[in-house]
Structure 1
Amino acid sequence: MSATSLRLVAHGHTAALRQARFGGDDGLDEGGRRAALALSPALPCRRPPDACLSSPETAAVETAEVLGLAPSVEAGLADCDYGDWSGRALAEIAAERPDALREWLSDPDAAPHGGESIVAVRRRVGRWLDAQRGGGRRVTAVTHPLVIRVALVHALDLPLATYRLFDVAPLAVVRLTGHGPHWQLRLDAAPAPAEG
């Protein structure tokens, strides 16, 4: 069985991300679009991917398109469903419902917002990730920082609470290589600066 090469790309900046708001469906802001354009030529890729997938949310689809990819929407890559917190600022929830926010931040099973718990996100993302293994395909998937954090926990078989230890910046690229039943995290060298 051939190894699968999977690149997970975090979408670019949006107004919601800069304002620390939960979810929403914002498109890229101007800075996010410029940064994605700058990343495009440096995206490490010896050959084009066999498949490009993206979360259904606008920022992920736009990031893939700015990177010159033609994404197919994949529901398994969707951002967490934040329920009635969606589109609201973290500071606003902290002021109105501090106990609920504390519960959500400390208990991966909690979903005080009425949406998905982190456990539910891991189950969904884990099913998608497991389906990618094998077959020798090269897949690029553009999604959300939280989804990438949970995917890393699943791929490396780490305790779920460790997802908080991963800091995934906008436009971060994480590469996983699937060998049989296991994934390996691959860290590539930074691209050489363009000569000018």
Structure 2
Amino acid sequence: MTSRVILISAASSEALRQARFDDGCPVDAAGLRRARAAAGAVPGAERRWVSPGVRCRDTADALGLAAAVEVPELTGLDVGRWRGATLDEVSAKEPDSVARWLTDPESAPHDGESVRDFCDRIARWLDTAAPLTGRSVAVVEPEVVRATVVRALGAPESAFWRVDVPPLTATELSGRSGRWNVRTGRPLEGSDAD
């Protein structure tokens, strides 16, 4: 039996536009408008999941997935004390820490989660999705999509930063017995995703 998992990246927010580490910021007006326009493009699914973040819940609701079940394992990357700061602010105060974080997957200078630990967490969740037959849809943060692609393809964690995930795009995984095929970056019709 084949399992299909479609990850939909959350709509845009002010934090995303400012390159600010997520601080619970909701989807902005443009993101809501695009998500509502794309609602008809979300395929039917036996299971509907959502990351616990505000932006993901807002996106799921706008896409017509209000009954989606929150999945704690799909929480975005924990950036610890950097939460709410912009990348420029952190880079100005802690340039060596940011450089280390972006090049060493085991580094967690923000006292949060390392990229390796995050990828491992997402891989464990993906292992639980593998035996499920039929289609599952999940609205998640872009970094969840990145980690999923890295683990599904067996790529090194250093590839994490090289996966671009625009808002309101679908990444589709299909497979069985833990072997995944990946189709990335399909814009949801009607979303005008960048």
Quickly name the TM-score band, shorter chain normalised: over 0.9
- Could you tell me which runs of 5 or more consecutive residues in structure 1 were left unpaired when the two chains were aligned: none
Q: Give the superposition deviation at 1:93.
A: 0.5
Q: Provide, for residues 127-176 of structure 1, a one-character-per-residue CA deviation record: whole Å limited to 9, x for no partner.
A: 00111002313110111111100110101111111122210001110000
The alignment of Structure 1 onto Structure 2 pairs a total of residues equal to 189
Q: 1:50 to 1:170 in 2, by over 3 A?
A: same
Pairing 1:103–2:108 present: no
- Greater C-alpha Rg: 1
The DSSP-based 3-state class of the residue aligned with 2:122 is helix
Deviation at 1:185, TM superposition (A): 1.1
Query: Between the two proteins, what is the percent identity of the paired residues?
Result: 34
Residues 5 and 135, structure 2, Cα contact 8 Å, conserved in 1: yes
The aligned runs of 1:1-196 (5 Å cut-off) are 2-43=1-42, 45=43, 48-69=44-65, 70-186=67-183
CA distance in 1, matches of 2:73, 2:89: 29
Residues 62-98 of structure 1 show CA distances to partners (whole Å, capped at 9, x for unaligned) of 1111111121110111011110000101110011111
What TM-score results when the alignment is normalised by the length of structure 2?
0.92
Is the 2:170–2:187 Cα contact (8 Å) retained in structure 1?
no
Q: TM-score, normalising length from structure 1?
A: 0.91
* C-alpha contact (below 8 Å) 1:134/1:178 kept by paired residues: no
The C-alpha deviation readout for 1:24-47, integer Å capped at 9, x for no partner, is: 11111101101111211233x2xx
Report the more deviating stretch, 7-16 or 159-168.
159-168
